Amino acid sequence: MTEKKKRSDARYKIAWLPGDGIGVEVLEAAKMVLDKLQLNAEYIHGDIGWEFWCQEGDAFPGRTINLLKSVDAAMFGAITSKPVKAAEAELIPSLKGKGLTYRSPIVRMRQLFDLYICLRPCKGYSGNSLNYKENIDLVVFRENTEDLYAGVEFNPVPLELAVTLAKLSKPFSVFKDLAGDQYAISTKINTRKGSERIIRAAFDFAKKFGRKKVTVVHKANVVRATDGLFLEIAKEVAKDFPGIQMDDANIDAMCMWLLKNPFNYDVLVAPNLYGDIISDLCAQMVGGLGFGCSGNIGEKLAVFEPTHGSAPKYAGQYKVNPIATILAAKMMLDWLGEKSKAEVLEKAVARVIKEGKVRTYDMGGSSKTLEMAQIIAAHL
């Protein structure tokens, strides 16, 4: 499922969602490269982000949802995600009296379109002085729709929930005596279906691309119900892939071992939150967030984005590294079945990194976002 079926009539429809802050700048850079590659595509702008929440109480407006229903793929920049409570929303004039809270639109998008695979390749390009070690090549499969991101949360906790919990299990009766505003509950929900499909996607990928090992990341020794289920399913799925080795590790130990010996690992698969954490760690090992790219992939739609956020403090300066987003565009080309364009693009990125003449600030240089895009385009 990491590739869409190729259309023969291909003039692709691609939703273009810059979002907030530097999202706008890195997407402009990716567009320069896609234009140079002459991808036969129509790019359709979609409104998304903080600005739209402030103006209309919805960071992911219905018109953008409709747009996503009609496209082959989407490129997404970044969005400012802040934990805003209803009381703070009251201070924004256009939202006064609406009782709104802010939920991350990218998380909503992943759930609404069932983009259940978060694919995050973390490959070190030779000669990048930011590489933790040379030749790291890890691939993270992060479950993208459930787990602690399910959005089932209580703060304050309603009394009826405390009463129900007390009925279910004796130790839970302590909550009945706590005022609802003295604790909060965020639920971790992992389904059999959700776990199985991401684990299967990781194994399918390993098989297709000749990868040797899939490591299942969890915390099943403590979080027994949900992570226990995830691990149990992984063991079942692994039986269908006799040529691929499976091992597993607790998330804490995984972080340590990844740093100690990244070459022991290959494909990693994890529930949503652990996948979020290890994908930042793996991105750092190959140069940092300026190099981390993501695909949010479902059966019908895939949305590609850099792993980094909207970096408000750099907004408007055109100084951040666009390589993460350009590599996300490369992932999109792969997904569309445009193999040769994807390959050419990756080679150009690799050459520019190796030459080291154009470097953005994170790479120790002073080149601007669009200069990086220009030099990559010039190598195509």
339 labelled catalytic: no
Using the minimum distance from each CB to ligand IPM, give the nearer residue, 41 or 272.
272
- Count of CB atoms situated within 10 Å of the CB of 320: 28
In angstroms, give the least distance from the CB of 50 to ligand IPM. Answer: 12
Q: Identity (one letter) of the amino acid at 220?
A: A
Instruction: State whether residue 107 is helix, strand or coil.
Output: helix
In angstroms, give the least distance from the CB of 361 to Mg ion. Answer: 21
276 labelled catalytic: yes
Using the minimum distance from each CB to ligand IPM, give the nearer residue, 306 or 348.
306
Using the minimum distance from each CB to ligand IPM, give the nearer residue, 37 or 138.
138
| CA angle 325–211–280, rounded 5-degree value | 35
**37, 106, 234, 254: residue in contact with ligand IPM (rule CB under 6 A):** 106
C-beta separation of 33 from 376 below 8 A: yes
Cβ-closest position to ligand IPM:
104
C-beta separation of 4 from 301 below 8 A: no
Q: Which residues contact 225 (CB under 8 A, 6 or more apart)?
A: none
Q: Which of 149, 265, 274, 318 is catalytic?
A: 149
Measure the CA–CA gap between 27 and 48, rounded to whole angstroms.
14
Measure the CA–CA gap between 345 and 19, rounded to whole angstroms.
24
- Pairing relation of β-strands 117-123 and 137-143? antiparallel
By C-alpha distance, which of 136, 16, 125 is closest to 77?
16
Q: Identity (one letter) of the amino acid at 64?
A: T
Q: Which of 4, 116, 147, 219 is catalytic?
A: 219
In angstroms, give the least distance from the CB of 276 to ligand IPM. Answer: 5
| Structure token pair of residue 305 | 């984005």
Measure the CA–CA gap between 358 and 373, rounded to whole angstroms.
10
Name which of Mg ion, ligand IPM, none residue 104 binds, using a CB cut-off of 5 to 8 Å depending on partner kind.
ligand IPM
313 labelled catalytic: no
**20, 147, 266, 276: residue in contact with Mg ion (rule CB under 5 A):** 276
By CB under 5 A, the count of residues binding Mg ion is 1
Options 54-62, 249-257, 269-277, 354-362: segment touching Mg ion (CB under 5 A): 269-277
Identify any residues that bridge with 247 across adjacent strands, giving them in sequence order: 215
By C-alpha distance, which of 109, 113, 96 is closest to 48?
109
276 makes contact with ligand IPM (CB under 6 A): yes
Options 7-15, 76-84, 212-220, 275-283: segment touching Mg ion (CB under 5 A): 275-283
Using the minimum distance from each CB to Mg ion, give the nearer residue, 82 or 212.
82
148 makes contact with ligand IPM (CB under 6 A): no
In angstroms, give the least distance from the CB of 294 to Mg ion. Answer: 9
In angstroms, give the least distance from the CB of 337 to ligand IPM. Answer: 25
149 labelled catalytic: yes
First to last CA, the chain: 28
Residues at the site binding Mg ion, with contacts judged by CB under 5 A: 276
Give catalytic residues, as residue numbers.
149, 219, 252, 276
Q: Where along the sequence are the contacts to ligand IPM (CB under 6 A)?
A: 81, 104, 106-107, 276, 307, 309
